[in-house]
Structure 1
Amino acid sequence: MKSKRILVWFRNDLRLHDNEMLVEALAKSESILPVYFFDPQYFHETRFATLKTGIHRAKFLLESVAALRLSFQKLGGDILLVHGNPEEFMARLVTDFDISEVYHHREVAPEETVVSTKMEDLLWKQKINLKHFIGHTLYNKEDLPFPIKDIPDVFAQFKKKTERDAMVKSCFLSPEEITFVENEDWGVLPTLADLGFEADAADFPDFAFTGGEEAGLEHLRELLLEGAEIHQKPVKNAGDKPGFSSRLSGWLSLGCLSPRKVYWKLKEAEAAFGGNANFNQILLGLLWRDYFRFMFKKHGIAFFQEPEEFEKEFFSPTENEHPDLLKWKNGNTGHAIVDRYMQELNTNGFISHTGRLLVSTFLIHILKIHWTNGAVYFEEKLIDYAPASNWGNWANVAGAGKDLKSKNTFDLEKQIKLLETLVSDTPSMV
């Protein structure tokens, strides 16, 4: 029997394609109420004197929500945009719109998990079920060859067993028809100023990322066409180029792109044009995303081998005003390659994985500054910030993650010499 009305709470899943939560809501309801909350807690200053969300990601988020709104409008509806935290408004929405059930995607990082738990308790008091979906990973947890508690902590073992024994499911199709709950006021999309930013066009470079499902799908299409050209041209292995990045991560982090969509489109390209090193790097990146999310699901904060030291630094940071930390943030360390990457991060909200390894290694192992300071700075600056991947990568570079066999072996000086030889004076967005 269909529920009368289902509230579909969008979070980091801003797409129509491959969205099981949306597909099931449509199948089990007479009408749906899509909702997105612009939660103030994600736009405040942290105890590290950084922002939870910097201007580049805020711009990308606004574009992504606007794109989702347009998709719903083309189907004759809209998405309700609420300026406030879900704990404050959800109970009223459930009552006002006579909601029978609420659907949402569960996150794995502590702060996001707390929000889900609070919401579950709040709705339970109203005798409303909060149904959880997991739509951020390439592999569904039930399709893994091991239960969550037995997932290997060593990435190489996770990769080997998963690729051998698990299967990537097909994508859910985008809905062609949606019946929306009747509503007269769908809310206004905030501006950057509404979110507390002072910005103008000069703050964003010409090649800045554009958020949204269609932009992500178009970028993926162009990326795979480039792969076809790489296959046809007798060039040096592109995977050997320092700083290679597919630049898909921003759309993946907000769920504008499904990892399964990327996987199956890539497999289509491989079938048509053959494989290459860049395609392999994309697949490897998808596996790392899964690994870190499942590690946080398995361990929580215990993923960090130094939980007491982590909590001390995280809750009472002592190095906010350290001169070397400030120079690192501003790209003024005096080390040309490190500074180039940090200036690029500050300007564009993005640097390649190679760049991230280099600047994090420099901060931790050369400047001897605790890694949490770098992780929260990346949280502010990155367009593609995702809690599990960001904190997991920083912990691994610091040697504080669970994968003891993959502790940081990044040779800073060797990498610097290589980059000085191969990286031109233009920005290294490749």
Structure 2
Amino acid sequence: MSTTIVWLRHDLRVSDNPLFSSLEGTAALACVYVLDARELRQWAPEQSASRCGPARLRFLWQSLMALRGELLKRGSDLLVRIGDPVDIIAELALRLQADHVLVREEPGPEERAQLERLTHSLDQRCRLQPVESGMLFERGQLPFALDELPSSFSAFRRRLEHDWQVTDPRPAPLTLPLWPDGAPRGLPPLDQVCPRAAAWRPSDATSLDMQGGEEAARARLDHYLWDSNAVATYKTTRNGLLGADFSTRFSPWLAHGCLSARQVHAEVRAWEAEHGANASSYWVIFELLWRDYFYWAAWQEGAALFGAETLPAPDANLVAWCEGSTGVPFIDAAMRELGTSGWLSNRARQNVASFLVKDLGGDWRLGAAWFEHCLIDYDASSNWGNWRYVAGIGRDPRQHRYFNVLKQARHYDPQGDYVAHWLPALQTLPQGASRHQPWQAAPARFAAPLVEPPAWREWRIPALGGVEPVGPDE
């Protein structure tokens, strides 16, 4: 009998999963997910924080339980283990006398190093077969060699949009090969893996409690496109801050592989065929292109994506930023949302990143590491690529990328509803700019911020009831 191991990583779905389309000749199949024990160890910038925080770990476990259910429906099962992925896969391959190990290709240097180690650890009769999965385009579809990847996203988009063809997503298999005789199976309870993650729940202030799994991903896709028709106005609402539908919120399911980019693309095209294409539907696909770009950039950059120097020790400013206690409501509200919900809008992510790097003088890598801990939708390529982009290093480097957070707050939260939602003490102040500068409006009750950069000058309000200046529109 031919036995195959499917080693699942960031591809926790059965639909449009090439790993389940590469099983010709397989008589027995073992599907395995290994949580790298390093994900649960202490991680910068706080010594009490792990790389994979409780919000993401809870979402991951929901996704694994949902995947197991889908596999059981098709005659298979799922084995989940915690430890060194290479050691566990190699031991299982030897135990089952496996002929093949199929695994999704990943751009991260740790994941690539794991495949190199596994190649040397497997028995000579067992073949390791990496498979491309989850993105809009495969390597062979790119109109350039990977080492010729354009240095900017704009150039990348122009090259792709000139003559692109996105492959249709594959349907889910109706059945899968039987589970190998004697192979272990099962998924440990989350409360045994991480009690904090098992007990974690998003704040009551959170507008959408996102649940892991392929069915939940499909429900969100259907809701955003077909039930709410929110996709029709995405371009005008995508910079929103409050509510469930100003953004697609597809990112958690894309990051864990409960949903593929091609599935999103196909559904958007189906919506366009019925309702007509517009700038908003295009913009959803535009964001998928950004995701592809960061993915291919990570392949090219390797370990340089994470910075080469030794990380500095966290300082008081960084801790205040992480906790949402900088004294700047627009920043603090966003960081409270991140810490208690595991998610943050793109507009808020750009502002808190710029504030840490440009206003507080913090190290961008510590900010990226904190996002890695907090975010449900953490994706190494997009997270570290975006942080490098805001910091003005790496690809398309520009040191002048600066977000004036007072200006941004006045533009995107003009009444102060967002900051008052996450910082209830601000509800005692009148709607408007005073909520973004409470140290000016009520200095006896609100402390001054950690910094007041010169760039804020024209956006400051006078202290205690003066006339607010009118700034130019952004």
Instruction: Determine if the TM-score, normalized by the shorter chain, exceeds 0.5.
Output: yes
Structure 1 unmatched runs, 5+: 305-309
Q: Where in structure 2 are the equivalents of 1:58-97 lying within 5 Å?
A: 58-97=57-96
Contact 1:9 1:34 in 2 (8 A): yes
Following the alignment from structure 2 to structure 1, what is the Cα–Cα distance between the partners of residues 421 and 316?
28
Structure 1 residue 183, shift from structure 2 partner = 4.0
Contact 1:239 1:277 in 2 (8 A): no
Contact 2:152 2:396 in 1 (8 A): yes
Post-superposition CA distance 1:336-356 (Å, at most 9, x none):
111100000000000011110
Greater relative CO, 1 or 2 (CA 8 Å, sep 6+): 1
Select 1:250's aligned residue among 249, 252, 255: 252
Q: In percent, how many aligned pairs have the same letter?
A: 31
Post-superposition CA distance 1:229-272 (Å, at most 9, x none):
674x9x99434645742111000001000100000101111221
Post-superposition CA distance 1:173-194 (Å, at most 9, x none):
1100112233456444233332
Which consecutive segments of 4 or more residues in structure 1 shift more than 6 A? none
Select 2:298's aligned residue among 255, 280, 296: 296
Select 1:161's aligned residue among 151, 159, 165: 159
Select 1:40's aligned residue among 37, 47, 54: 37
TM-score with structure 1 length normalisation? 0.89
Select 1:127's aligned residue among 117, 120, 125: 125
- SS of equivalent residue, structure 2 residue 352: helix
Post-superposition CA distance 1:282-322 (Å, at most 9, x none):
21221111101101112223457xxxxx3223xxx2232x1
Structure 2 unmatched runs, 5+: 424-474
CA RMSD, aligned part only? 2.4
1:115: which partner in 2? 114
TM-score with structure 2 length normalisation? 0.81
Matched, 1:197 2:198: no
1:346: which partner in 2? 339
2:150: which partner in 1? 152
**Letter aligned with residue 371 of structure 1:** W
**Letter aligned with residue 291 of structure 2:** R
Following the alignment from structure 1 to structure 2, what is the Cα–Cα distance between the partners of residues 223 and 255?
18
Contact 1:397 1:407 in 2 (8 A): no
Contact 1:4 1:30 in 2 (8 A): yes
Contact 2:294 2:385 in 1 (8 A): yes
Select 1:178's aligned residue among 170, 176, 179: 176
Following the alignment from structure 2 to structure 1, what is the Cα–Cα distance between the partners of residues 165 and 399?
25
Rate the CA distance shift 1:155–1:378 in 2: closer, same or farther, 3 A.
same
1:332: which partner in 2? 325
Following the alignment from structure 1 to structure 2, what is the Cα–Cα distance between the partners of residues 194 and 188?
14
Structure 1 residue 40, shift from structure 2 partner = 1.0
- SS of equivalent residue, structure 1 residue 413: helix
Contact 1:238 1:278 in 2 (8 A): no
Following the alignment from structure 1 to structure 2, what is the Cα–Cα distance between the partners of residues 15 and 299?
28
Deviates more, 1:324-333 or 1:265-274: 265-274
Post-superposition CA distance 1:331-387 (Å, at most 9, x none):
111111111000000000000111100100010001000100100000000000011
1:223: which partner in 2? 224
Structure 1 residue 197, shift from structure 2 partner = 3.4
Matched, 1:375 2:350: no
**Letter aligned with residue 318 of structure 1:** P
Deviates more, 1:111-120 or 1:254-263: 111-120
**Letter aligned with residue 160 of structure 1:** R
**Letter aligned with residue 135 of structure 1:** S
Following the alignment from structure 2 to structure 1, what is the Cα–Cα distance between the partners of residues 369 and 362?
13
Structure 1 residue 6, shift from structure 2 partner = 0.9
Matched, 1:416 2:409: yes
- SS of equivalent residue, structure 1 residue 210: coil
Rate the CA distance shift 1:277–1:191 in 2: closer, same or farther, 3 A.
farther
1:400: which partner in 2? 393
Structure 1 residue 92, shift from structure 2 partner = 2.3
Following the alignment from structure 2 to structure 1, what is the Cα–Cα distance between the partners of residues 413 and 382?
28
Following the alignment from structure 1 to structure 2, what is the Cα–Cα distance between the partners of residues 198 and 181?
33
Following the alignment from structure 2 to structure 1, what is the Cα–Cα distance between the partners of residues 212 and 88?
26
- In the alignment of these two chains, the number of paired residues is 413
Post-superposition CA distance 1:33-87 (Å, at most 9, x none):
1111122121111254331100000000000010010001112221122232222
Structure 1 residue 150, shift from structure 2 partner = 1.1
Following the alignment from structure 1 to structure 2, what is the Cα–Cα distance between the partners of residues 221 and 129?
39
Rate the CA distance shift 1:15–1:365 in 2: closer, same or farther, 3 A.
same
Select 2:283's aligned residue among 281, 290, 293: 281
Structure 1 residue 10, shift from structure 2 partner = 0.6
Rate the CA distance shift 1:135–1:128 in 2: closer, same or farther, 3 A.
same
- SS of equivalent residue, structure 2 residue 350: helix
Following the alignment from structure 1 to structure 2, what is the Cα–Cα distance between the partners of residues 394 and 246?
21
